[in-house]
Structure 1
């Protein structure tokens, strides 16, 4: 999958960037946060560390992500967005294609994604989820279950 984007994280941001330059800066911050997460784990996801990795000031980061929890929530939102978009693709494909084992196709696809999505794994297995991310995960699971039902 691609790196986190500002659009995918938009729902959990303090402020949504409007200008292309601001969107690009936030995307750099989220990409830097994912690199730190993968390389050093959840404990390293501090605003200071992420800002340094992104090459932006901490004040610039604070415009959009006020604290460590917001960084975690924004990363999680990007992963949820991607997983749900993939489910929607399956739903649309299922309307025209016939698979001998649709559940097997879903499981194989998502298993492959989990194998390659290092940031997602690092976040979920790094014991750093926030209360907001846990609540968002419950809603995400409901949407994914609905997608499976529609397939």
Structure 2
């Protein structure tokens, strides 16, 4: 690729996104662990409670289970997308762009899905500080991941 000016920006955004996705994974893992430890207790006769949900979370509201589940999926795919991103930044050629761009776009779309559940959780209004932090990280990640995709595609636009 002819344009080397966007390479430092893409590198910075890739590193920032990786750190934020790891934090999302950490908070999401805490929420799942808490849900497992403090969720429904099934009795000796294996009778399920009347309002049993497999994604019940004792903290938060009705959207928390969906939100945390998709936040974890987005976090894993987003953190994994840095492998293709690092390969692309290392070589910075048009041959490495499609794999980096496609996996980054998939991670961004999953982040947008998790952000949608975050918006629903904000609307329902009952959540703790860690869930608010997770919401904030996903909202910020939806923008920074888009900027990263734009940075790696913008460099390809200047190729002659």
Shorter-normalised TM range: 0.3 to 0.5
Q: TM-score, normalised by structure 2?
A: 0.40
Q: Which has the larger radius of gyration?
A: 2
Structure number with greater CO (CA < 8 Å, separation at least 6) is 2
Q: TM-score, normalised by structure 1?
A: 0.42
